[in-house]
Structure 1
Amino acid sequence: MGFGSYDESEQENQNTEADYDEEDAVSVHENDHDGSVSFDTGASSGELVDRLQDMKGDDEDDA
C-alpha cells in the first residue's frame, strides 16, 4: 500500500446517521460577533521593525 492509499471497501458502508439528538449538537453560530479589533502600540513602524530584529537576534543566541 503506497502513501495516501486506502482500502475502498472500508468506505462503502459508512453509517452517515448521527447517534445524537440535535439538542446535543454544538451550534457554531452561538457566539458569533460582529465588530472590529484595533491596537495602538504608540510605536512607529521603524521601532517595531527594530524590536522584531532584536527578537530574531535573541533566537539566534538561544540556538
Structure 2
Amino acid sequence: MGFGSYDESEQENQEYDTDFEDDDGVSAEENTHDGDVEYEFTASNDELIDQLSEIKENT
C-alpha cells in the first residue's frame, strides 16, 4: 500500500463510543440550590454612584 491507501474493510467496521449517559461527565443538577437570596442595601444611590466613580478613576 502506498501513502494514503487504506483497507476499506476497516472503514466499515469502525465502532464509535457514542454513549453519552456515562458517569464521566458532570451532572447539571448536581449543584442546584433551592434557597432564597436576600440583599440589604445600606448605601444610598448617590453613595453607590460616588463609589463607582472612584473605582472608574482608579482603573
What is the aligned partner in structure 2 of residue 17 from structure 1?
A: 18
Question: 2:50 and 2:21 mapped to 1: Cα distance?
Answer: 55
Larger Rg: 2
Give the CA deviation at 1:27: 1.4
**Higher percent of residues as helix:** 1
Give unmatched runs, 5+ long, in structure 2.
1-15
What is the aligned partner in structure 2 of residue 38 from structure 1?
A: 38
Percent sequence identity is 36
TM-score under structure 1 length normalisation: 0.50
Give the CA deviation at 1:54: 1.0
- Alpha-carbon spacing, 1:23–1:58, altered in 2? closer, same or farther (3 Å): closer
Give unmatched runs, 5+ long, in structure 1.
1-14
- Alpha-carbon spacing, 1:23–1:53, altered in 2? closer, same or farther (3 Å): same
Equivalent pairs counted in the alignment come to 44
Q: Which amino acid aligns with 1:26?
A: V
TM-score under structure 2 length normalisation: 0.52
